[in-house]
Amino acid sequence: MDDQYLVTTDGPAHLSPDGRAQVADIRRQADEAVDAGLPYDQLDARLHDLADQFKAAIVADLQTQAEHPHGGRDEERVRTDGDKPG
């Protein structure tokens, strides 16, 4: 199995500690599946299932961590005269 998964975001993104733990658990399960000596068709099915779990974990965690820059405004305005931007 030779898959690559790419996620693009509109800014910096990271996984939470829970998200990283999920990815580590999926990686551990993949290692166990490879070491189990399963027939190819069963191993292939298991790895595809784990790949789907990986994608779901990444998307779910990045979405829960998403925060629009500037508090939801399109741009951030800063005034240096002490007044609030209008």
pLDDT given for residue 13 in this prediction: 80
pLDDT tier at 70 (50, 70, 90 boundaries)? very low
pLDDT: which is higher, 14 or 31: 31
Rounded to whole angstroms, the Cα distance separating 42 from 38 reads: 6
pLDDT: which is higher, 4 or 58: 58
pLDDT given for residue 32 in this prediction: 98
The average confidence (pLDDT) of the chain is 79
pLDDT given for residue 5 in this prediction: 79
Claim: this prediction has a pTM higher than 0.75 = no
Angle between helices 17-35 and 40-65 (to 10 degrees): 180
